[in-house]
Amino acid sequence: MKINILTLFPEYFETFKNQSIIAKAIKLGHLEINIINFRNFSKEKHQKVDDTVYGGGDGMLLQVEPIDLALQTVPNSHKILLSPQGSRFNQSKAHELSKFPEITLICGHYEGFDERILNFVDEELSIGDFVLTGGEIPAMTIAESVARLTPGVLKKGSHENESFEGDGLLDYPQYTKPAEYKGLKVPEVLLSGNHALIEKWRKENAYLKTLKNRKDIIERKKNEN
């Protein structure tokens, strides 16, 4: 899979590309991360890529032309504008995006984008109902979430029991050694070796954890049924 990232701050992604799962996937040839500085496509003096808002208002908007020209270098990719106004990114969307051979993530900055940029992209996504200074962190979030679903990046089946997978619930509680720490004990059932009981306990506690932390998921599942 190839992931293009359009940004004004390419240096943000140096560590991202060279650490952990992402670095391993790149080394093995399962993933390519292509960083594009769209300032290089500006035709204005001093490579300016922003300007004042028509109609008045604070801040500066990213201009349409540099981003359009940058996108023309990745014509076969699925193009995604990252902004707080976009549809909510989730695990289901990560699976959907992982099916594309090539995607492009466009990082905003300053006050936002000229609205006409939407005419040159396939969709607009947000990672949550909050505002950041730029789109670099959302780009890393989506890139890693999608990359780890790409065949060969993780051990086969290793993500299937994670939160939001399968039945859509949060992951069940998990423990490791020691079996007791400061009076806090690992549930006896997990030490029993009885795999049927362990599986039953995990399903029950995945539900309870979801009910406690994300009631909205439980309600949504009820409405689906």
Residue numbers in the known binding site are: 108, 127-132
- Pairing label, strands 50-52, 60-62: antiparallel
Binding site listing for S-adenosyl-L-methionine: 108, 127-132
Numbers of helices and strands, H then E, in the chain: 7, 10
Task: Give 161-164 contacts, CB < 8 A, sequence gap 24+.
Answer: 163/91, 164/90, 164/91, 164/92
Residue 69 near residue 121 (C-beta atoms within 8 A): no
Residue 167 near residue 113 (C-beta atoms within 8 A): no
Residue 40 near residue 10 (C-beta atoms within 8 A): no
Beta strands in the chain (DSSP E): 2-7, 32-37, 50-52, 60-62, 78-88, 102-106, 112-113, 123-126, 180-181, 184-185
Residue 106 near residue 86 (C-beta atoms within 8 A): no
Amino acid at 179: A
